[in-house]
């Protein structure tokens, strides 16, 4: 149909598979995290708090997932992007639900954002490693 | 220990099992719902939005789960409890995160609240039926 | 000094005594409640959640105390005051922290509001009875 | 029971005892503070504002208590933890209710978090000293 585009969308089944893989990797690393997967609209699809993961991470994981789809880049890219722009460094960080540290990744297929993942509870680097491993299932399907 | 009480707590594994059972029942009923499980402090443990379930239900399911632990009764009891008390009917409904229709159930063990489930997306009665089926795994373990 | 007035203020000690008396009355009635005492500015002075009192009541008790000082009348008067004014009945109830059912009382001395108490967790009538008993210590000091 | 864990919980009586001890220590130090005790889910159990303690501290004390249970470490550890990670230093501080300066301590029993205390109104160091003294009653009971 003219003027309408088609897009891929995450299903609940894939969101769950992504969360399961994230947990698998977290266990391998010996850490306890919260994991959130959102769709391309930033709306929550699947969430898990591993037993003993920080309550503080419930919100952070969801915000990382949201930030990932809301700007289309890994949350870990943000700091480098704003660090030499003082107005952004002090200003944009107040944006609702924006997270500027690693652990959130957009989930892309053929270059289009189809969702996002956010992981929180370990170090930012481990969080990102977990997120990366979890969504590699999608990349492999390309 | 003097003055301290002991209580049971939900693990991530049980929360997931509860969500899996809720989805199983929802599929049997042919409906698509959001399912949230919180711990006894109202903090999210596990969440799922089935493919095609309403985005509006993301928040409602979580609020139903919260309400269940925050007052210790099924959310479906609220309306009957307040319908003849106009001050409550017009007033208490404004309490943050309070849901007064069916679909949220406290998860109890030996009479103590150990968590809550909230289901949203079908009729309130179906939401509750799904919630009931999902947590019967706990009752059976008593 | 010209133009300045003097007022009485609740101390922490009296706030605590009020909360203790509220708990005493709650135990006598066999109920478990949250109790909040605020100063004349609506700012929290003392709070208690009795073991097993509803988590939902944490917010409601504080809002009842706030409403009491913010309008200077018992929260239980509100519904009768607005019930025949549909615009108020449907509108003013959305005001932040306004509670329109019983359980909140202003604490007055010589006709001046010096603070407020809010009780939540039992029936609205019991909540108010507890609040009334608790603050009678002030009335007696008049 | 399979899959369920047991843990200790704070009662209202112990929360009050902790607050009483905090106030005792604050008086000894000649400072006026707000003191909040939350359960392991971050929900308020007991609160006191000493006469003359800053109104601003009402919220800070509660947030310190919340942060303590939500991440499981003293709030005073946060700054050292993030000071060399600029993305965290500028970013994570925007997390709801997160406090990154001293005065909040998790209350632990046998290594498990059973609640949290937050003290605010004096210097951060004094706040923490007060918190530490207050909860030593739990440690002593081990």
Cβ–Cβ below 8 Å for B9 and D8: no
- The predicted pLDDT at position A5 comes to 86
Decide if pLDDT at A47 tops 60.
yes
Mean pLDDT over B63-89 rounds to 97
Average pLDDT over all residues of chain B? 94
* Shortest distance, CA B46 to any CA of chain A (angstroms): 5
Over residues C1-14, the mean pLDDT reads 89
pLDDT higher than 60, residue D111: yes
pLDDT (tens digit, 9 = 90+) per residue, B105-142?
A: 999 998 899 999 999 999 999 999 999 999 999 876 44
B6 inside domain: no
* Residue ranges of C 50-79 with Cβ closer than 8 A to chain D: 50-51, 53, 55, 58
Tens digits of residue pLDDT in C43-61: 999 999 999 999 999 999 9
pLDDT band, residue D142 (cuts 50/70/90): very low
- The Cα C77–Cα C79 span in angstroms is 6
C-alpha distances in angstroms, B41 versus B72, C23, C137? 11, 23, 34
Q: In this predicted model, what pLDDT tens digit does every residue of C57-98 receive, in sequence order?
A: 999 999 999 999 999 999 999 999 999 999 999 999 999 999
What is the tens place of the pLDDT at every residue in D50-68?
999 999 999 999 999 999 9
The reply to whether A1 falls in a domain is no
Residue B19 has pLDDT above 70, yes or no: yes
Contact residues, chain C, for B88 at CB < 8 Å = 101, 124
* Beta-ladder partners of C55: none
pLDDT of the residue at D84: 96
What is each CA distance from A8 to A5, A18, A114, in whole angstroms?
Answer: 10, 16, 6
What average pLDDT does range D63-80 have in this prediction?
98
Which among C27, C37, C43 is the top mutation candidate for probing chain D, defined by the most D β-carbons within 10 Å of its own β-carbon? Answer: C43
Cβ count within 10 A of residue B139:
11
What secondary structure letter does DSSP report for A116?
E
**Virtual CA dihedral for D24, D29, D34, D38, nearest 10 degrees?**
-60
Burial of A115 (0-12, 13-18, 19+ CB in 10 A): buried
* Residue showing tokens 């407020």: C116
Q: What is the pTM of this model?
A: 0.95
Q: How far is C101 from chain D (nearest CA, A)?
A: 22
| Position C142 pLDDT exceeds 50 | no
| CATH code assigned at D84 | 3.30.450.150
pLDDT digits (tens, 9 = 90+) for A102-124: 999 999 998 899 999 999 999 99
Q: Where residue D110 falls among pLDDT bands split at 50, 70, 90? A: confident
Interacting residues of B21 by C-beta distance below 8 A, sequence separation 6+ = B133, B134, B136, B137
Q: What is the CA radius of gyration of chain A?
A: 15
Does the beta carbon of A122 lie under 8 angstroms from any beta carbon of chain D? no
Q: Does any domain span residue D56?
A: yes
Q: Tell whether D4 is covered by a domain.
A: no
Find residues 23-52 of chain D whose CB sits inside 8 Å of chain C. 41, 43-51
Chains C and A touch (3+ CB pairs under 8 A): no
Q: Looking at residues C113-123, what average pLDDT do you find?
A: 97
How many domains does chain B fold into?
1
Please tell me the predicted confidence (pLDDT) of residue B123: 98
Backbone angles phi, psi at C95, to 5 degrees: -60, 135
For residues D75-83, average pLDDT = 97
Q: Which of B2, B4, B39 sits opposite D41 (nearest CB)?
A: B39
**Interacting residues of B98 by C-beta distance below 8 A, sequence separation 6+:** B63, B67, B70, B78, B92, C56
Residue A74 lies inside a defined structural domain of this protein: yes
A102 to D96: CB separation less than 8 angstroms, yes or no: no
Residues of chain B neighbouring D13 (CB-CB closer than 8 A) = 3
Instruction: Identify whether A104 is part of a domain.
Output: yes
Which of A51, A89, A101 lies nearest to residue D92, judging by beta carbons? A101
Kindly tell me if the per-residue pLDDT of B1 is higher than 80: no
Helices D56-71 & A56-71, crossing angle to 10 degrees?
90
Output the pLDDT for position C140: 61
Residue from D11, D20, D42, D47 whose CB has the most chain C CBs within 10 Å, to mutate:
D47
A44 token code pair? 């929550």
Residue C18 has pLDDT above 90, yes or no: yes
**Cα dist from A51 to A47, B62, C43, D13, whole Å:** 13, 19, 37, 28
Tens of pLDDT, residues B28-40: 999 999 999 999 9
Q: Across the interface, which of B69, B72, B92 has its CB nearest the CB of C101?
A: B92
Tell me which residue range forms the domain holding D22: 12-141
Contact criterion met (CB < 8 Å) for D5 and A51: yes
Across D105-133, average pLDDT: 96
Buried b (16+ CB within 10 A) or exposed e, B120-134: bbbebebbbbbbbbb
ipTM: 0.94
Cα distances from A115 to residues A105, A125, C45, D124, in angstroms, run: 9, 21, 46, 42
Note whether D95 contacts A59, CB cutoff 8 Å: yes
Residues of chain C positioned with their CB less than 8 A from the CB of B90: 79, 89-90, 93, 100
Query: Looking at beta carbons, which residues of chain C come within 8 Å of B94?
Result: 93-94, 98
């Amino acid at each position: 149909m003219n003027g309408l585009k088609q897009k891929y969308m995450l299903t609940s089944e894939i969101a769950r598979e992504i969360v399961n893989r994230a947990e698998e990797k977290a266990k391998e690393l010996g850490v306890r995290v919260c994991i959130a997967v959102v769709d391309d609209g930033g709306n929550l699809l699947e969430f898990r708090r591993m037993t003993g993961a920080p309550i503080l991470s419930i919100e952070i994981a969801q915000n990382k997932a949201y930030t990932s789809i809301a700007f289309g880049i890994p949350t870990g890219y943000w700091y480098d992007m704003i660090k030499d722009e003082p107005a952004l460094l002090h200003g944009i960080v107040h944006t609702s639900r924006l997270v500027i540290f690693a652990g959130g990744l957009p989930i892309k297929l053929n270059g289009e954002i189809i969702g996002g993942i956010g992981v929180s509870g370990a170090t930012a680097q481990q969080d990102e490693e977990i997120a990366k491993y979890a969504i590699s299932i999608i990349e492999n399907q390309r």
